Structure 1
Amino acid sequence: MRHHLILRVVTKLLIGSIMIFALYVQFHGDYSPGGGFQAGVIMAVGFIIYGVVFSLEDVQRVFPPWLVHKLAALGVLLYAGTGIVSLFLGYSYLDYTALSPHHPVHGQHYGIILVELGVGITVTGVMVTIYYAFTSRTPIMDDEAW
Protein backbone atom coordinates (compact mmCIF):
# COMPACT_ATOMS: atom_id res chain seq x y z
CA MET A 1 0.00 0.00 0.00
CA ARG A 2 3.08 2.24 0.11
CA HIS A 3 2.71 3.15 -3.56
CA HIS A 4 -0.71 4.84 -3.26
CA LEU A 5 0.68 8.31 -2.67
CA ILE A 6 -2.33 10.26 -3.98
CA LEU A 7 -4.75 8.20 -1.88
CA ARG A 8 -2.64 8.80 1.22
CA VAL A 9 -2.36 12.56 0.66
CA VAL A 10 -6.08 12.97 -0.06
CA THR A 11 -6.92 10.91 3.02
CA LYS A 12 -4.74 13.12 5.21
CA LEU A 13 -6.53 16.17 3.83
CA LEU A 14 -9.99 14.68 4.38
CA ILE A 15 -9.52 13.37 7.92
CA GLY A 16 -9.39 16.85 9.46
CA SER A 17 -12.55 17.92 7.63
CA ILE A 18 -14.35 14.75 8.69
CA MET A 19 -13.43 15.31 12.35
CA ILE A 20 -14.47 18.97 12.28
CA PHE A 21 -17.78 18.05 10.63
CA ALA A 22 -18.35 15.42 13.35
CA LEU A 23 -17.79 18.06 16.02
CA TYR A 24 -20.17 20.42 14.20
CA VAL A 25 -22.89 17.76 14.10
CA GLN A 26 -22.23 16.91 17.75
CA PHE A 27 -22.56 20.40 19.13
CA HIS A 28 -25.31 21.63 16.81
CA GLY A 29 -27.45 18.50 17.14
CA ASP A 30 -29.93 20.20 19.41
CA TYR A 31 -30.44 23.03 16.90
CA SER A 32 -30.58 21.00 13.69
CA PRO A 33 -30.91 17.38 12.59
CA GLY A 34 -28.07 15.33 13.95
CA GLY A 35 -26.63 14.83 17.35
CA GLY A 36 -24.64 12.30 19.24
CA PHE A 37 -25.27 9.17 17.21
CA GLN A 38 -24.58 10.76 13.85
CA ALA A 39 -21.53 12.61 15.15
CA GLY A 40 -20.18 9.41 16.69
CA VAL A 41 -20.50 7.53 13.43
CA ILE A 42 -18.89 10.36 11.46
CA MET A 43 -16.00 10.57 13.94
CA ALA A 44 -15.50 6.78 13.78
CA VAL A 45 -15.50 6.93 9.98
CA GLY A 46 -12.54 9.30 10.14
CA PHE A 47 -10.53 6.75 12.12
CA ILE A 48 -11.73 3.85 9.98
CA ILE A 49 -10.75 5.57 6.74
CA TYR A 50 -7.33 6.28 8.22
CA GLY A 51 -6.98 2.61 9.11
CA VAL A 52 -8.12 1.39 5.69
CA VAL A 53 -5.76 3.65 3.77
CA PHE A 54 -2.73 3.38 6.04
CA SER A 55 -2.90 0.27 8.25
CA LEU A 56 -4.43 -1.14 11.39
CA GLU A 57 -1.16 -0.61 13.23
CA ASP A 58 -1.04 3.07 12.23
CA VAL A 59 -4.59 3.83 13.35
CA GLN A 60 -4.04 1.93 16.60
CA ARG A 61 -1.01 4.13 17.28
CA VAL A 62 -3.23 7.19 16.84
CA PHE A 63 -6.25 5.76 18.68
CA PRO A 64 -5.10 2.83 20.87
CA PRO A 65 -7.57 0.04 21.65
CA TRP A 66 -7.33 0.66 25.42
CA LEU A 67 -8.43 4.27 24.87
CA VAL A 68 -11.26 3.24 22.55
CA HIS A 69 -12.68 0.91 25.20
CA LYS A 70 -12.35 3.50 27.95
CA LEU A 71 -14.12 6.13 25.83
CA ALA A 72 -17.02 3.78 25.05
CA ALA A 73 -17.52 3.24 28.79
CA LEU A 74 -17.04 6.95 29.55
CA GLY A 75 -19.83 7.88 27.15
CA VAL A 76 -22.27 5.51 28.84
CA LEU A 77 -21.26 6.87 32.24
CA LEU A 78 -21.78 10.44 31.05
CA TYR A 79 -25.25 9.60 29.77
CA ALA A 80 -26.27 7.65 32.87
CA GLY A 81 -24.55 10.12 35.19
CA THR A 82 -26.66 12.96 33.83
CA GLY A 83 -29.77 11.03 34.85
CA ILE A 84 -28.35 10.07 38.23
CA VAL A 85 -27.54 13.70 39.02
CA SER A 86 -31.17 14.60 38.42
CA LEU A 87 -32.26 11.74 40.70
CA PHE A 88 -29.98 12.94 43.51
CA LEU A 89 -31.37 16.44 43.14
CA GLY A 90 -34.92 15.16 43.66
CA TYR A 91 -36.13 15.09 40.06
CA SER A 92 -37.03 12.24 37.74
CA TYR A 93 -34.32 10.34 35.89
CA LEU A 94 -33.02 12.48 33.01
CA ASP A 95 -35.21 15.44 34.01
CA TYR A 96 -32.87 18.15 32.78
CA THR A 97 -34.63 20.83 34.82
CA ALA A 98 -32.49 19.60 37.74
CA LEU A 99 -29.37 20.96 36.04
CA SER A 100 -30.66 24.54 36.29
CA PRO A 101 -33.81 24.72 38.45
CA HIS A 102 -34.12 28.52 38.24
CA HIS A 103 -33.86 28.46 34.43
CA PRO A 104 -35.47 25.21 33.18
CA VAL A 105 -34.74 26.10 29.55
CA HIS A 106 -31.02 26.30 30.35
CA GLY A 107 -31.26 22.99 32.19
CA GLN A 108 -32.85 21.39 29.14
CA HIS A 109 -30.06 22.74 26.97
CA TYR A 110 -27.29 21.50 29.32
CA GLY A 111 -28.91 18.10 29.66
CA ILE A 112 -29.29 17.60 25.93
CA ILE A 113 -25.67 18.57 25.32
CA LEU A 114 -24.39 16.19 28.03
CA VAL A 115 -26.52 13.25 26.93
CA GLU A 116 -25.71 13.74 23.25
CA LEU A 117 -22.01 14.04 24.09
CA GLY A 118 -22.24 10.73 25.95
CA VAL A 119 -23.97 9.11 23.00
CA GLY A 120 -21.37 10.49 20.56
CA ILE A 121 -18.43 9.27 22.62
CA THR A 122 -19.99 5.83 23.06
CA VAL A 123 -20.88 5.41 19.39
CA THR A 124 -17.36 6.43 18.32
CA GLY A 125 -15.84 3.94 20.72
CA VAL A 126 -18.14 1.09 19.75
CA MET A 127 -17.79 1.64 15.99
CA VAL A 128 -13.99 1.77 16.19
CA THR A 129 -13.99 -1.29 18.46
CA ILE A 130 -16.03 -3.21 15.87
CA TYR A 131 -13.59 -2.11 13.16
CA TYR A 132 -10.61 -3.23 15.27
CA ALA A 133 -12.28 -6.57 15.97
CA PHE A 134 -12.94 -7.30 12.30
CA THR A 135 -9.58 -6.13 10.98
CA SER A 136 -7.48 -7.86 13.61
CA ARG A 137 -8.93 -11.29 12.78
CA THR A 138 -6.56 -13.77 11.22
CA PRO A 139 -7.53 -14.12 7.56
CA ILE A 140 -8.76 -17.54 6.44
CA MET A 141 -7.47 -16.98 2.89
CA ASP A 142 -4.23 -15.33 1.97
CA ASP A 143 -4.10 -12.44 -0.49
CA GLU A 144 -2.93 -14.62 -3.40
CA ALA A 145 -6.09 -16.77 -3.18
CA TRP A 146 -8.23 -13.80 -4.18
Structure 2
Amino acid sequence: MSESVVLRTIGGMLFPYILVYALYVQMHGEIGPGGGFQAGVLVASAFILHAFLYGKAATDRLLPRWLVDLTMCLGILLYIGVGIVGLVQGSYFLDYSVLDPAHPAHAEALGITLVEAGVGLTVASVILTMVRKVNGELE
Protein backbone atom coordinates (compact mmCIF):
# COMPACT_ATOMS: atom_id res chain seq x y z
CA MET A 1 0.00 0.00 0.00
CA SER A 2 1.34 3.39 -0.96
CA GLU A 3 1.85 5.89 1.84
CA SER A 4 2.18 8.80 -0.60
CA VAL A 5 -0.87 11.04 -0.61
CA VAL A 6 0.00 12.27 -4.11
CA LEU A 7 0.26 8.75 -5.53
CA ARG A 8 -2.96 7.63 -3.89
CA THR A 9 -4.83 10.72 -5.10
CA ILE A 10 -3.56 10.63 -8.69
CA GLY A 11 -3.82 6.83 -8.90
CA GLY A 12 -7.34 6.94 -7.50
CA MET A 13 -8.27 9.50 -10.13
CA LEU A 14 -6.71 7.40 -12.92
CA PHE A 15 -8.46 4.16 -11.95
CA PRO A 16 -11.87 4.90 -13.56
CA TYR A 17 -10.23 6.45 -16.63
CA ILE A 18 -8.15 3.32 -17.19
CA LEU A 19 -11.33 1.23 -17.04
CA VAL A 20 -13.13 3.54 -19.48
CA TYR A 21 -10.16 3.42 -21.84
CA ALA A 22 -10.20 -0.38 -21.59
CA LEU A 23 -13.87 -0.33 -22.61
CA TYR A 24 -12.99 1.91 -25.57
CA VAL A 25 -10.20 -0.45 -26.64
CA GLN A 26 -12.56 -3.41 -26.24
CA MET A 27 -15.36 -1.90 -28.31
CA HIS A 28 -13.13 -0.65 -31.13
CA GLY A 29 -11.07 -3.83 -31.46
CA GLU A 30 -13.02 -5.10 -34.43
CA ILE A 31 -12.43 -1.96 -36.51
CA GLY A 32 -8.97 -0.87 -35.36
CA PRO A 33 -6.07 -1.70 -33.10
CA GLY A 34 -7.17 -3.20 -29.84
CA GLY A 35 -9.63 -5.82 -28.79
CA GLY A 36 -10.14 -8.29 -26.03
CA PHE A 37 -6.55 -9.05 -25.13
CA GLN A 38 -5.48 -5.42 -24.86
CA ALA A 39 -8.62 -4.44 -22.98
CA GLY A 40 -8.18 -7.34 -20.58
CA VAL A 41 -4.62 -6.25 -19.83
CA LEU A 42 -5.81 -2.70 -19.18
CA VAL A 43 -8.55 -3.86 -16.80
CA ALA A 44 -6.10 -6.06 -14.91
CA SER A 45 -3.56 -3.24 -14.70
CA ALA A 46 -6.20 -0.91 -13.27
CA PHE A 47 -6.95 -3.34 -10.45
CA ILE A 48 -3.24 -4.02 -9.87
CA LEU A 49 -2.73 -0.26 -9.55
CA HIS A 50 -5.61 -0.16 -7.07
CA ALA A 51 -3.99 -2.91 -5.01
CA PHE A 52 -0.65 -1.09 -4.98
CA LEU A 53 -2.28 2.15 -3.89
CA TYR A 54 -4.92 0.97 -1.41
CA GLY A 55 -3.81 -2.51 -0.39
CA LYS A 56 -5.02 -6.05 -0.95
CA ALA A 57 -7.98 -5.81 1.42
CA ALA A 58 -9.48 -2.79 -0.34
CA THR A 59 -9.04 -4.38 -3.76
CA ASP A 60 -10.53 -7.67 -2.54
CA ARG A 61 -13.61 -5.77 -1.34
CA LEU A 62 -13.88 -4.08 -4.73
CA LEU A 63 -13.18 -7.23 -6.75
CA PRO A 64 -13.48 -10.44 -4.70
CA ARG A 65 -11.74 -13.62 -5.79
CA TRP A 66 -15.02 -15.42 -6.54
CA LEU A 67 -15.92 -12.67 -9.02
CA VAL A 68 -12.57 -13.00 -10.78
CA ASP A 69 -13.08 -16.76 -11.03
CA LEU A 70 -16.63 -16.26 -12.32
CA THR A 71 -15.58 -13.78 -15.02
CA MET A 72 -12.80 -16.12 -16.11
CA CYS A 73 -15.33 -18.91 -16.63
CA LEU A 74 -17.87 -16.60 -18.28
CA GLY A 75 -15.27 -15.34 -20.73
CA ILE A 76 -14.32 -18.84 -21.78
CA LEU A 77 -17.97 -19.89 -22.03
CA LEU A 78 -18.81 -16.83 -24.13
CA TYR A 79 -16.03 -17.58 -26.60
CA ILE A 80 -16.88 -21.27 -26.83
CA GLY A 81 -20.63 -20.54 -26.89
CA VAL A 82 -20.33 -18.34 -29.97
CA GLY A 83 -18.34 -21.09 -31.66
CA ILE A 84 -20.74 -23.86 -30.71
CA VAL A 85 -23.71 -21.94 -32.14
CA GLY A 86 -22.18 -22.56 -35.56
CA LEU A 87 -21.79 -26.27 -34.89
CA VAL A 88 -25.36 -26.59 -33.61
CA GLN A 89 -26.65 -24.83 -36.73
CA GLY A 90 -24.83 -27.34 -38.94
CA SER A 91 -21.95 -25.07 -39.89
CA TYR A 92 -18.41 -24.85 -38.60
CA PHE A 93 -16.98 -23.60 -35.30
CA LEU A 94 -17.03 -19.77 -35.03
CA ASP A 95 -19.13 -19.33 -38.17
CA TYR A 96 -20.55 -15.92 -37.40
CA SER A 97 -23.03 -15.96 -40.28
CA VAL A 98 -25.35 -18.29 -38.34
CA LEU A 99 -25.88 -15.59 -35.70
CA ASP A 100 -27.95 -13.53 -38.15
CA PRO A 101 -28.33 -15.29 -41.53
CA ALA A 102 -30.36 -12.45 -43.04
CA HIS A 103 -27.61 -9.89 -42.37
CA PRO A 104 -24.14 -11.45 -42.72
CA ALA A 105 -22.26 -8.20 -42.02
CA HIS A 106 -24.23 -7.67 -38.81
CA ALA A 107 -23.67 -11.30 -37.82
CA GLU A 108 -19.91 -10.97 -38.29
CA ALA A 109 -19.75 -7.77 -36.23
CA LEU A 110 -21.85 -9.37 -33.49
CA GLY A 111 -19.77 -12.54 -33.47
CA ILE A 112 -16.46 -10.70 -33.31
CA THR A 113 -17.74 -8.42 -30.55
CA LEU A 114 -18.92 -11.38 -28.46
CA VAL A 115 -15.70 -13.34 -28.97
CA GLU A 116 -13.58 -10.29 -28.11
CA ALA A 117 -15.68 -9.73 -24.97
CA GLY A 118 -14.98 -13.32 -23.94
CA VAL A 119 -11.27 -12.85 -24.57
CA GLY A 120 -11.23 -9.60 -22.58
CA LEU A 121 -12.95 -11.14 -19.56
CA THR A 122 -10.68 -14.16 -19.61
CA VAL A 123 -7.43 -12.22 -20.04
CA ALA A 124 -8.24 -9.77 -17.24
CA SER A 125 -9.22 -12.60 -14.90
CA VAL A 126 -6.20 -14.76 -15.71
CA ILE A 127 -3.76 -11.88 -15.19
CA LEU A 128 -5.37 -10.97 -11.87
CA THR A 129 -5.27 -14.62 -10.79
CA MET A 130 -1.59 -14.90 -11.77
CA VAL A 131 -0.73 -11.75 -9.83
CA ARG A 132 -2.57 -13.07 -6.77
CA LYS A 133 -0.77 -16.40 -7.07
CA VAL A 134 2.65 -14.76 -7.40
CA ASN A 135 1.74 -12.64 -4.41
CA GLY A 136 1.04 -15.82 -2.44
CA GLU A 137 -2.66 -15.14 -1.98
CA LEU A 138 -4.00 -18.34 -3.54
CA GLU A 139 -3.73 -21.90 -2.24
Which category describes the TM-score, using the shorter chain as reference length? Answer: over 0.9
Q: Which 4+ stretches in 1 moved above 4 angstroms?
A: none
Sort the Cα spacing of 1:2 and 1:100 in 2 relative to 1 into closer, same or farther, 3 A.
Answer: closer
C-alpha offsets along residues 54-111 of structure 1, whole Å, 9 cap, x if unaligned?
A: 1111111100011101111110000000011111112111000000111111110000
Q: Which residue of 2 aligns with 1:47?
A: 47
| 2:111 counterpart residue number | 111
In structure 1, what is the Cα distance between the partners aligned to 2:66 and 2:75? 15
Task: Report the TM-score when normalising by structure 1.
Answer: 0.90
- Aligned equivalents of 2:135 and 2:9: distance in 1? 23
Distance, in Å, in 1 between the alignment partners of 2:122 and 2:62 is: 18
Residue 128 (structure 1) aligned with residue 128 (structure 2): yes
Deviation per CA, 1:105-134: give whole Å up to 9, x if none.
Answer: 111000000000000000010011111112
Partner of residue 93, structure 1: 93
Query: Where do residues 1-146 of structure 1 align in structure 2 (5 Å cutoff)?
Result: 1=1, 3-136=3-136
Q: In structure 2, what residue type is equivalent to 1:88?
A: V
> What is the CA–CA distance in structure 1 between the aligned matches of 2:7 and 2:55, rounded to whole Å?
13
CA contact (8 A) 2:72 2:125 kept: yes
Which one-letter code corresponds to 2:7 in the other structure?
L
TM-score under structure 2 length normalisation: 0.95
The letter of the residue matching 2:134 is F
Seq. identity, %: 44
Q: Between Structure 1 and Structure 2, how many residues are aligned?
A: 138
Larger-Rg structure: 1
8 Å CA contact retained: 1:56, 1:132: no
Q: Distance in 2 between matches of 1:6 and 1:90?
A: 58
| Distance across 1 between alignment mates of 2:13 and 2:2 | 17
Shift of 1:3: 3.6
Tell me how far apart the structure 1 counterparts of residues 53 and 2 of structure 2 sit (CA, whole Å): 10
Which residue type is aligned with residue 131 of structure 1?
A: V
